[in-house]
């Protein structure tokens, strides 16, 4: 049950594809600068990971919704495991080998593919072996339970952050103490000391980024909306991989300016905006190109994603860096799905549908994602109350055998017809 | 004297009473009588909910469970989707169809995705007057204990506000004593399972356990004392081809164990939240802590669910049970989409097989009584265990 010889082949795939897209964009006058910046960011992130054995960088593999700020402040190289797995699936167009390796470990098919796949990816050596494994219970059992097996596979030490369920002050204090313990753990294993002033600077940068996300959200309210349909996934990746990095701030500033210009000029992301959509949860990565094409074809564009792009209220205080990192964990859009699904959450989703003039919502029902699928009925009812129909699309974020492009096309076309009739 | 456990009459009158109770739950007379006499009844959704606090408030706590057998879960699936575990869907469907309409409150914990979403849909669609969900930490650190104590205090306060009366330390001590008595009696029952030829089968034990979290503890303790007397006087002895332990997801259908035992095995130990993990650890009142803190510590420190970290705590206790009950092999039954147990399985299997304990992994649905395929796999497992002994 240990990792194979790391080849980093998965990382090379992401780097090659990112550089190729960057070069292609340079050759297209209509391509936006932010797009090129995004893929340059990706290529740099994965190049650093790939070269870590030579540079001596200390790699901390971590699960989703994890405070990368702490690693950046300690000059530790973070490796976002789920994002890396789905990017490999996205750029290589196939996930069979890593999923099969995960299954051979004894992981049941019900375990979501990003986690089954990442365990498999370590086994076959697609991902580099980390020096430590970090994980938390945000936002589901899969993340909470994945770390120990990954420690075993990689024969490395690990640290688990126990994120509280509610958002009381006592629970916030608990989370801060958990983070303090993790910093001590990282200091012990990496030999690097936390620079608290540096963490304050990183937090200040993250705060700027959160403000930029909010400004971008405001711009997306415009009719026609300026941001392309699957663009929200780039916003997600930027926070996942580059939180607190100045180059990510530069990307977001560029994007905000591009969107502001488009709004001022009345330019929409699609030529003829007909359907404004709310996206709930993760679309199949291997259908990204198709989803963009059908968006253009039908003038259907995602304008809001309550659990991906809509941040909780509040600002971060660089003078209290660790507390700020903890508070950010509660402001993360996805984390709104972790606590109780009470009136606060439900009314927020309904309000977003109204504020963004949403015509319909697409609920990506990822077969491996239990906690999001179990809320389909609740959200459908909430959205139907504000006259927003919901299409449920059964899919898998990584595994192309669950649903095909043809099936998705048929369902989307049926849904667009329904919206048209309304 | 019997070679393998039989399905029907046991010659143990109290076991028959437990069966009768189970067959009528949730509308069991013993529960409805409590309600008709003016008492309040609360349902709890997970073993991390401290029952003693509910009991000390004068309320009858019962565990919310689903159908006793595998059924079509059309309503459950419509509300919780097909990839929620069948336990959550089964419980919810029973609730949606009015079988738990007599409940005055529902209490859950943030224990797993299935439990927290079951709580969410219950609150949204089933009109139970009182709802509370506790944050249950996943660690055993002192800090985690303090946080959980804070959660338990908030729960107590919420309950007091709802009922309009205080829960006194004296009442809580009384409830702790009652529940500890129940745990001690169950330990006596389990001691009998350590014998070479136990007088009670695994399936029969589960019948007792299912009643234990569904009926008033006062009555349960009386009945269990009677059963222990009957067992001590009986000459029933169960012989077996192999001594097995069941681990994994929530399970309450004795027919599943009966299917395994029907192949000549005897289930002598179990590690389920409906069995050992429910009752094994007492609340320790040592004079230095308040009864509330003692309850809180017991629930977080209890024989852990797979949700807890580190998993070694659970694995160590499973290994201890294997030695204590002289287990030949382990049957892991995991409900589809029960992710905490599914994630632990490779690590647990690796560890147990390293200690010479074979593991049979079965994917099941909640309520299953065991299919022909399960029988075939159990037969092969038993043959392998027998060959290993030779």
Question: From the list B147, B307, B337, which residue is nearest A170 (CB)?
Answer: B147
B380 alpha carbon, distance to own chain's centre: 28
- The 3-class SS string of chain A reads CCCCCCCCHHHHHHHHHHHHHHHHHHCCCCCCHHHHHHHHHHHHHHHHHHCHHHHCCCEEEECCCCCHHHHHHCCCEEEEHHHHHHHHHHHHCCCHHHHHHHHHCCCCCCCCHHHHHHHHHHHHCCCCCCCEEEEECCCCHHHHHHHHHHHHHHCCCEEEECCCCCCCHHHHHHHHHHHHHHHHHHHHHHCCCCCHHHHHHHHHHHHHHHHHHHHHHHHCCCCCCCCCCCCHHHHHHHHHHHCCCHHHHHHHHHHHHHHHHHHHHCCCCCCCCCEEEEEECCCCHHHHHHHHHHHHHHCEEEEECCCCCCCCCCCCCCCCHHHHHHHHHHHCCHHHHCCCCCHHHHHHHHHHHHHCCCCEEEEEEECCCHHHHCCHHHHHHHHHHCCCCEEEEEECCCCCCCCCHHHHHHHHHHHHHHHHHC
- Tell me the HSE value of B160 on the side-chain side, using a 13 A CA sphere: 13
Q: What is the DSSP letter of B235?
A: -
Q: Do residues A150 and A92 share a domain?
A: yes
Question: From the list A1, A146, A340, which residue is nearest B343 (CB)?
Answer: A146
Q: Do residues A311 and A372 share a domain?
A: yes
Q: Is residue A201 part of a domain?
A: no
C-alpha B351/C-alpha A302 separation (Å) is 48
Q: Is residue A72 part of a domain?
A: yes
Q: Which phi-psi region, left, alpha or beta, contains residue A2 (left: φ > 0; alpha: ψ -120 to 50)?
A: beta
CATH number at residue A94: 3.40.50.11890
Instruction: Look at residues B39, B34, B35 and name the one whose alpha carbon lies nearest to residue B58.
Output: B39
Provide the pLDDT for residue A10: 85
Interface of chain A against chain B, CB under 8 Å? 1, 105-108, 110-111, 137, 140-142, 144-146, 148-149, 152, 160, 162, 164-166, 170-171, 174, 177-178, 340-342, 365, 367-371, 373-378
Q: Tell me the chain B residues in contact with residue A373 when contact means C-beta distances shorter than 8 Å.
A: 81-84
Q: Tell me the chain A residues in contact with residue B336 when contact means C-beta distances shorter than 8 Å.
A: 108, 110
**Architecture category of domain B25-163 in CATH:** 3-Layer(aba) Sandwich (3.40)
- Put simply, the answer to whether B139 touches A160 (Cβ < 8 Å) is yes
Provide the pLDDT for residue B312: 97
Question: From the list B83, B306, B350, which residue is nearest A367 (CB)?
Answer: B83
Q: Do residues A14 and A161 share a domain?
A: yes
Compute CA distances A221 → A227, A260, A285, whole Å. Answer: 10, 11, 25
H or E element at residue B333: strand B329-335
Structure tokens at A364: 């990506």
Q: Is residue A2 part of a domain?
A: no
Domain count, chain A: 2
Question: From the list B135, B343, B350, which residue is nearest A164 (CB)?
Answer: B135
CATH number at residue A246: 3.40.50.11900
Considering chain B, what is the average pLDDT of its residues?
A: 96
ipTM value, please give it.
0.96
Q: Is residue A213 part of a domain?
A: no
Q: Is B353 touching A (CB cutoff 8 A)?
A: no
- Put simply, the answer to whether A370 touches B334 (Cβ < 8 Å) is no
Radius of gyration for the alpha carbons in chain B, expressed in angstroms and rounded: 20
Q: Is residue B267 helix, strand or coil?
A: strand
C-alpha A75/C-alpha A62 separation (Å) is 15
Q: Is residue A45 part of a domain?
A: yes
Compute CA distances A260 → A218, A233, A263, A316, whole Å. Answer: 10, 19, 5, 25
Beta carbons of B69 and B369 less than 8 angstroms apart: yes
Give the pLDDT of chain A (422 residues) as one tens digit per residue.
Answer: 666 666 678 899 999 999 999 998 888 888 899 999 999 999 999 999 999 999 999 999 999 999 999 999 999 999 999 998 888 877 887 788 899 999 999 999 889 999 999 899 999 888 889 999 999 999 999 999 999 999 999 999 999 999 999 999 999 999 999 999 999 999 999 999 999 999 999 999 999 999 999 999 999 999 999 999 989 999 999 999 999 999 999 999 999 999 999 999 999 999 999 999 999 999 998 898 999 999 999 999 999 999 999 999 999 999 999 999 999 999 999 999 999 999 999 999 999 999 999 999 999 999 999 999 999 999 999 999 999 999 999 999 988 889 999 999 999 999 999 999 99
- Put simply, the answer to whether B339 touches A146 (Cβ < 8 Å) is no
- Distance from the Cα of B135 to chain A's closest Cα (Å) equals 5
Q: Do residues A246 and A290 share a domain?
A: yes
C-alpha A295/C-alpha A225 separation (Å) is 13
Q: Do residues A377 and A233 share a domain?
A: yes
Q: Is residue A216 part of a domain?
A: no
Output phi, psi for B200, to 5 deg. -135, 140
Of the residues A176, A374, A385, A399, the best mutation for testing chain B's interface (the one with the most B CB atoms within 10 Å of its CB) is A374
Beta carbons of A397 and A405 less than 8 angstroms apart: no
C-alpha A363/C-alpha A376 separation (Å) is 7
Question: From the list B85, B120, B143, which residue is nearest A174 (CB)?
Answer: B143
Q: Which pTM does this prediction carry?
A: 0.96
- Angle of helix B339-354 relative to helix A141-154, nearest 10 degrees, comes to 30
Q: Is residue A256 part of a domain?
A: yes
Question: From the list B119, B309, B342, which residue is nearest A110 (CB)?
Answer: B342
Q: Do residues A251 and A290 share a domain?
A: yes
**Is the sign of the CA dihedral A222, A227, A230, A235 positive or negative?**
negative
C-alpha B388/C-alpha B330 separation (Å) is 14
Q: Do residues A46 and A132 share a domain?
A: yes
Q: Is B123 touching A (CB cutoff 8 A)?
A: yes
- Residue pLDDT, tens place only, B168-181: 999 999 999 999 99
Q: Tally C-beta pairs within 8 A across A and B.
A: 135
Averaged over B278-304, what is the pLDDT?
Answer: 96
C-alpha A14/C-alpha A45 separation (Å) is 10
pLDDT band at B279 (very low <50, low <70, confident <90, very high): very high
C-alpha A302/C-alpha A227 separation (Å) is 8
Beta carbons of A126 and A96 less than 8 angstroms apart: no
Q: Do residues A174 and A57 share a domain?
A: yes
- Put simply, the answer to whether A377 touches B78 (Cβ < 8 Å) is yes
Q: Which residues are CB-neighbours of A289 under 8 A, at least 6 positions away?
A: none
- Put simply, the answer to whether A374 touches B81 (Cβ < 8 Å) is yes
Structure tokens at A8: 């980093």
Q: Tell me the chain A residues in contact with residue B114 when contact means C-beta distances shorter than 8 Å.
A: 370, 374
C-alpha A39/C-alpha B134 separation (Å) is 43
Provide the pLDDT for residue A173: 97
Beta strands in B19-76 (DSSP E): 41-44, 60-63
Instruction: Look at residues A295, A152, A143 and name the one whose alpha carbon lies nearest to residue A232.
Output: A295
Structural domain including A302 reads 225-421
Q: Tell me the chain A residues in contact with residue B307 when contact means C-beta distances shorter than 8 Å.
A: 141, 144-145
Instruction: Look at residues B304, B291, B296, B247 and name the one whose alpha carbon lies nearest to residue B111.
Output: B304
Provide the pLDDT for residue B1: 41
Q: Is B163 touching A (CB cutoff 8 A)?
A: no
Q: Which residues are CB-neighbours of A33 under 8 A, at least 6 positions away?
A: A254, A258
Provide the pLDDT for residue B50: 98
Q: Is the pLDDT of residue B3 over 60?
A: no
Q: Do residues A76 and A184 share a domain?
A: yes
B14 alpha carbon, distance to own chain's centre: 20
Q: Is residue A219 part of a domain?
A: no
């Amino acid at each position: 049950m240990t990792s194979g010889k790391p080849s980093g082949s998965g990382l090379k795939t992401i780097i090659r594809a990112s550089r190729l897209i960057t070069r292609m964009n340079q050759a297209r006058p209509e391509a936006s600068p932010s797009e090129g910046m995004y893929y340059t960011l990706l290529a740099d992130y994965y190049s650093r990971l790939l070269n870590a054995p030579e540079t001596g960088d200390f790699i901390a593999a971590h699960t989703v919704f994890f405070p990368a700020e702490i690693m950046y402040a300690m000059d530790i190289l973070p490796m976002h495991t789920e994002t890396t797995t789905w990017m490999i699936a996205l750029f290589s167009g196939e996930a069979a080998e890593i999923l099969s390796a995960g299954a051979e470990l004894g992981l049941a098919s019900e375990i979501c593919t990003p986690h089954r796949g990442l365990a498999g990816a370590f086994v076959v050596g697609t991902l580099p072996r980390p020096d430590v494994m970090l994980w938390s219970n945000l936002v589901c059992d899969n993340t909470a339970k994945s770390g120990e097996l990954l420690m075993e596979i990689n024969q490395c030490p690990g640290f688990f952050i126990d994120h509280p369920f509610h958002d009381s002050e006592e629970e916030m204090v608990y989370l801060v103490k958990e983070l303090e313990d993790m910093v001590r753990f990282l200091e012990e294993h990496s030999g690097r000391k936390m620079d608290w002033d540096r963490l304050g600077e990183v937090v200040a940068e993250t705060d700027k980024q959160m403000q930029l996300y909010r400004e971008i959200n405001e711009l997306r309210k415009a009719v026609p909306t300026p941001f392309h349909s699957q663009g929200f996934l780039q916003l997600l990746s930027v926070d996942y991989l580059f939180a607190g990095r100045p180059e990510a701030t530069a990307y977001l500033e560029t994007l905000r300016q591009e969107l502001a210009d488009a709004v001022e000029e009345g330019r929409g992301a699609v030529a003829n905006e007909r359907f404004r959509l709310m996206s709930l949860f993760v679309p199949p990565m291997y259908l990204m190109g198709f989803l963009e094409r059908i968006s253009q074809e039908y003038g259907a564009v995602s304008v809001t994603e309550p659990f991906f792009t809509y941040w909780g209220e509040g600002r971060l205080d660089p003078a209290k860096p660790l507390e700020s990192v903890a508070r950010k964990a509660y402001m993360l859009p996805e984390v709104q799905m972790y606590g109780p699904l009470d009136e606060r959450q439900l009314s927020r989703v309904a309000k977003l549908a109204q504020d963004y003039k949403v015509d319909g919502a697409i609920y990506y029902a990822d077969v491996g994602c239990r906690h999001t699928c179990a809320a389909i009925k609740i959200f459908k009812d909430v959205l139907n109350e504000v006259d927003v129909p919901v299409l449920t699309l059964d899919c898998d974020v990584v595994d192309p055998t669950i649903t095909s492009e043809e099936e998705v096309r048929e369902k989307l076309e049926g849904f667009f017809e329904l919206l048209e009739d309304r | 004297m019997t070679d393998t456990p039989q399905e029907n009459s046991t010659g143990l009158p109290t076991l028959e009473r437990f069966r009768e109770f189970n067959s009528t739950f949730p509308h069991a007379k013993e529960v409805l009588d409590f309600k008709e006499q003016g008492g309040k009844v609360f349902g709890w959704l997970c073993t991390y909910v401290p029952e003693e606090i509910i009991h000390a408030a004068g309320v009858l706590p019962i565990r919310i469970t689903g159908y006793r057998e595998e059924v079509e879960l059309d309503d459950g699936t419509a509300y919780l989707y097909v990839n929620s575990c069948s336990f959550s869907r089964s419980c919810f469907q029973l609730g949606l169809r009015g079988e738990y309409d007599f409940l005055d409150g529902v209490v859950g914990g943030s224990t797993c995705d299935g439990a927290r979403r079951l709580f969410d849909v219950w609150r949204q669609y089933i009109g139970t007057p009182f709802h509370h969900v506790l944050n249950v930490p996943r660690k055993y650190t002192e800090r985690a204990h303090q946080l959980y104590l804070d959660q338990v205090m908030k729960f107590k306060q919420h309950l007091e506000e709802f009922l309009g009366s205080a829960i006194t330390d004296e009442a809580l001590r009384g409830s702790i004593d009652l529940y500890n008595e129940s745990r001690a009696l169950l330990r006596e029952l389990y001691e009998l399972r350590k014998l070479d030829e136990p007088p009670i089968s695994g399936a029969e034990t589960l019948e007792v356990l299912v009643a234990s979290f569904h009926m008033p503890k006062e009555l349960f303790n009386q009945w269990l004392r009677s059963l222990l007397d009957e067992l001590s006087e009986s000459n029933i002895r169960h012989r077996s081809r192999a001594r097995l332990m069941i681990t994994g997801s929530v399970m309450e259908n004795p027919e599943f164990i009966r299917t395994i035992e029907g192949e000549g095995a005897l289930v002598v130990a179990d590690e389920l939240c409906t069995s050992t993990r429910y009752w094994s650890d007492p609340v320790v009142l040592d004079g230095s802590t308040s009864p509330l803190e003692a309850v809180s510590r017991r629930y977080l420190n209890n024989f852990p669910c797979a949700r807890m970290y580190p998993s070694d705590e659970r694995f160590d206790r499973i290994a201890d049970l294997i030695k204590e009950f002289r287990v030949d092999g382990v049957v892991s039954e995991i409900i589809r989409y029960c992710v905490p147990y599914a994630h632990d399985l490779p690590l647990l299997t690796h560890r147990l097989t390293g200690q010479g304990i074979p593991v049979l992994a079965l994917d099941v649905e909640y309520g299953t009584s065991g299919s022909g395929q399960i029988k075939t796999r159990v037969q092969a497992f038993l043959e392998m265990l027998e060959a290993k002994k030779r």
